[in-house]
Amino acid sequence: MKHDIFRFLEEPREMPARVPLALRTAGDWNELYGGFGPSEAEHQADRCLDCGNPYCEAKCPVHNYIPNWLKLVQEGRVHEAAALCHETNPLPEMCGRVCPQDRLCEGACTLEDGFGAVTIGAVEKYIVDTAFAQGWRPDLSKVVATGRRVAVIGAGPAGLACADRLVRAGIGAVVFDRYEQIGGLLQFGIPSFKLDKAVIARRREVLEGMGVTFRLGVEVGRDVALAALLEDFDAVFLGTGAYRYTDGGLAGQDLPGVLPALPFLVHNGRIVTGGDTWGRPIAGWEDTLTLPKLAGKRVVVLGGGDTGMDCVRSAIRLAAASVTCAYRRDEANMPGSAREVANAREEGVRFLFNRQPLAIEADAAGHAAGVRMIETRLGEPDANGRRAAVPVAGSESTLEADVVIIAFGFSPVVPAWLDPHGIEAQGTGNGRIRVGGERRLPYQTAHDRVFAGGDAVRGADLVVTAVQEGRDAAASIARMLRRQAGGEIARSALDAI
């Protein structure tokens, strides 16, 4: 197809077809967006202006070569486009599905101002899904084994990205994870309507074909000691994620009928995929929590981030009688993706903005019955530049609820089994692992042979930022191993990352 620089004038922005609203509200857990066919993908890719200074690429945390692989799609060269996608992103088919493109690449697209951004995420998904379906796999035929091995702790996006880059450099990667499937929150935290779990299973098959080994259901610190891993491996990467939910300190938050977002999403994800059933305690969670059935219940979700959107949209599919999202700032200041908010609203979620929860109230039986709230107005910016939510005196009210889900965010915890090795948090009360510093490689901890990245270092963030840190940490590991070997690991191996 010949590229027409003015294609965007006659070809409007289009997304793949979506699951009909009636099916979504009736409990359909399939991915909301379908996929492009070759013609649709080529036409949407052809809308790209091929800017001399591609803002989309600059805004992407992994700096994907977006205009380049869009051009390859225009020319029907899908396998080459897939190879180019993987040069910068070890998990492109997942980022194409779950990245908030409206805040990243597409939000920075030159056409976004008046013409509609190029549908970058949907094309990225098309490239990798199509290439995999046609049998394409990453080519490691020229990789030379170094004889070195790295233990990767955590099979979430940071750990998977690190393992991918290590094996491309000829370094063996063995990934340990306490859960029974790979993916971390990709598998257990993100609902199937955003990320089909078959996509994760296929990525596991691809990684194993590349030489990555997985040891699942193995918890470091319980089943195997870090000291043993340091004895058996040349280096260790920590991609332990962020699983501690932010405690809002609300009175009544321990009442029956109140759930933290993560165990709700984890357990429900297992139920949807056939890995668990209703009425049983949530496996792997510290407390004995049981997921209540939401059918016919009034559900209130506290928090306006992407996790909150996952919760409200899951509750809709679980046949809740009503679903309300309460957030303490206005819609313009919501941290969640605008596209996810729009999807939630379309599916019937009610939004209450400028509402700050004060307490969860109980009924006569001691069960959650509502959330006492106060209205807010936006005040002066806080230390991070965000305008503070200031309570309005005399504006308290109670929102009735049968189930309350708390989605205030998550933070990491430095595992106690790191203490004997001198690996510590970045500061007092901060659960993020300290990395870098003087005479340290990027992502290198206080222990020379232990590296860390992703949410464990950054705090809860996007999948794509975890991918970027896992990828870049692998480059530091390769550099460290090359130094130790006195040049034995060839520079070409490092360049492969």
Tell me the average pLDDT across 272-297: 68
Instruction: Kindly tell me if the per-residue pLDDT of 344 is higher than 70.
Output: yes
Low-confidence winner among 77-81, 366-370, 409-413, 474-478 (lowest mean pLDDT):
409-413
57-85 tens-digit pLDDT: 999 999 999 999 999 999 999 999 999 99
- Output the pLDDT for position 274: 75
Contact between 32 and 18 under an 8 Å Cβ cutoff? The reply is yes
At which of 105, 133, 161 does a domain end?
A: 133
**Cβ neighbour number for residue 359 with a 10 Å cutoff:** 15
Contact between 426 and 444 under an 8 Å Cβ cutoff? The reply is no
Residues 401 and 291 occupy one common structural domain: yes
At which of 375, 410, 445 does a domain end?
A: 410
- List the beta bridge partners of residue 261: none
- Output the pLDDT for position 279: 59
Residues 114 and 178 occupy one common structural domain: no
Give the dihedral sign, CA 432/436/440/441. Answer: positive
Q: Quick one: pLDDT band at residue 287, thresholds 50, 70, 90?
A: low
At which of 410, 433, 464 does a domain end?
A: 410
Q: Quick one: pLDDT band at residue 225, thresholds 50, 70, 90?
A: very high
- Output the domain CATH number for residue 117: 1.10.1060.10
Domain of residue 156 covers 149-243+412-495
Tell me the average pLDDT across 342-348: 97
What six digits make up the tokens of 165? 């880059």
Instruction: Kindly tell me if the per-residue pLDDT of 237 is higher than 70.
Output: yes
Contact between 333 and 387 under an 8 Å Cβ cutoff? The reply is yes
Distance CA 424, CA 238 (A): 13
Residues 397 and 259 occupy one common structural domain: yes
- Output the pLDDT for position 163: 98
Residues 30 and 14 occupy one common structural domain: yes
Q: What is the DSSP letter of 378?
A: E
**Cβ neighbour number for residue 276 with a 10 Å cutoff:** 18
- Output the pLDDT for position 429: 75
75-133 tens-digit pLDDT: 999 999 999 999 999 999 999 999 999 999 999 999 998 899 999 999 999 999 999 99
Q: Quick one: pLDDT band at residue 305, thresholds 50, 70, 90?
A: very high
Amino acid letter, residue 14: E
As a whole number, the mean pLDDT across the chain is 92
**Cβ neighbour number for residue 46 with a 10 Å cutoff:** 21
Instruction: Kindly tell me if the per-residue pLDDT of 217 is higher than 70.
Output: yes
461-495 tens-digit pLDDT: 999 999 999 999 999 999 999 988 775 555 555 55
Q: Quick one: pLDDT band at residue 220, thresholds 50, 70, 90?
A: very high
Contact between 304 and 327 under an 8 Å Cβ cutoff? The reply is yes
Q: Quick one: pLDDT band at residue 188, thresholds 50, 70, 90?
A: confident
Low-confidence winner among 219-233, 247-261, 442-456 (lowest mean pLDDT):
247-261
Note whether residue 140 is domain-resident.
no
What six digits make up the tokens of 4? 């027409």
Q: How many domains does the chain have?
A: 3
- Output the pLDDT for position 427: 82
Instruction: Kindly tell me if the per-residue pLDDT of 373 is higher than 70.
Output: yes
Residues 326 and 418 occupy one common structural domain: no
Q: Which of 428, 423, 429, 466 is nearest to 445 (CA)?
A: 423
- Output the domain CATH number for residue 445: 3.50.50.60
Note whether residue 144 is domain-resident.
no
Instruction: Name the strands in the sheet holding 350-352, side by side, starting at the edge strand that comes first in the sequence.
Output: 258-260, 403-406, 298-302, 322-326, 350-352
